Structure formats: C-alpha cells, structure tokens
C-alpha cells in the first residue's frame, strides 16, 4: 500500500470503486474510462497543480480532509513535487488501474518525449 506524507501526517492511499466513480469512471465505458485515466496521468506528468489537488482530494476523501486543507498543505510542502511521481506510480500498481496503465503510460511518455525534445532544442538555440 502506498503512503504519502502531507502536512506532517501520513496517509495510506487506496483505490476503491467509489474513488473511481469520484473520478468519473463508469461501468462498461472502457474508452471513456481510459480517457479519464489518461487525462489524470497526463496532468500529473505535466505537474499540473489542479490535477494534483483533485486527485489527492478524491483519494483522501475517506479521511474527511477538505480540498482547501490539501491545497494549503501542497503549497506549503517543499517536497510536494514528489507527490506527482508517487501518484503516477500509485496508479501503475493499483489492481483497479494497473492493466490500463500498462497501455496508457507508455503512450503518454512517448507523447511527452516528442514534445519535450524539440522544446529543449529550441531552448538550447537561444
């Protein structure tokens, strides 16, 4: 079980069917569910703060932590950047998302590499 530290407290991350519903997953909608997970993982890969806060809010819902509390904790924590990778790894290893991640994550990584390489070349030319 993955754990995260937030605001000086340790929380266990667990992915349940209720969490998936909170993210918008629905039964028998494979394409839509794959798109939802792809958007989450893409946002985390990009370091999107809104995605980070949203994912943490949904995963920590059972602890009755409010979104504002999570937002403040992430802003104050100088190690909050590590949370992006922890959450991506979490989705890769959780039984409910592991199989989808085996398909989705390489595609997202490849897409970001294609974007990143030309941008790095442009930055080096300046």
Structure tokens at 55: 């994912």
So what's the pLDDT on residue 120?
Answer: 62
Please, what sign has the CA dihedral across residues 25, 38, 56, 75?
negative
- For residue range 61-83, what is the model confidence (pLDDT) as tens digits? 999 999 999 999 888 877 778 89
For the chain, give the number of residues: 126
pLDDT of residue 108: 81
Give the span between the Cα atoms of 55 and 86, in whole angstroms: 12
Cβ of 107: how many Cβ atoms within 10 Å?
A: 12
Ranges of each domain in the chain: 3-125
pLDDT in tens, 7-60: 888 999 999 999 999 999 988 888 888 899 999 999 998 899 999 999 999 999
Q: Strands, DSSP E only, in 3-101? A: 3-6, 9-12
81-102 mean pLDDT: 92
Token pair, residue 19, equals 């969490």
């Amino acid at each position: 079980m993955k754990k995260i530290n937030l605001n000086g407290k340790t929380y266990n991350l667990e992915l349940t069917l209720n969490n998936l519903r909170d993210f918008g997953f629905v039964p028998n909608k494979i394409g839509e569910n794959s798109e939802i997970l792809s958007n989450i993982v893409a946002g985390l890969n990009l370091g999107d703060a809104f995605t980070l806060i949203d994912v943490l809010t949904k995963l920590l819902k059972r602890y009755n932590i409010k979104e504002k509390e999570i937002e403040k904790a992430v802003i104050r924590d100088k190690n909050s950047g590590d949370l992006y990778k922890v959450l991506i790894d979490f989705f890769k290893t959780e039984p409910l998302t592991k199989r989808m991640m085996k398909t989705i994550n390489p595609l997202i990584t490849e897409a970001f590499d294609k974007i990143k390489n030309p941008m790095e070349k442009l930055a080096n030319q300046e």
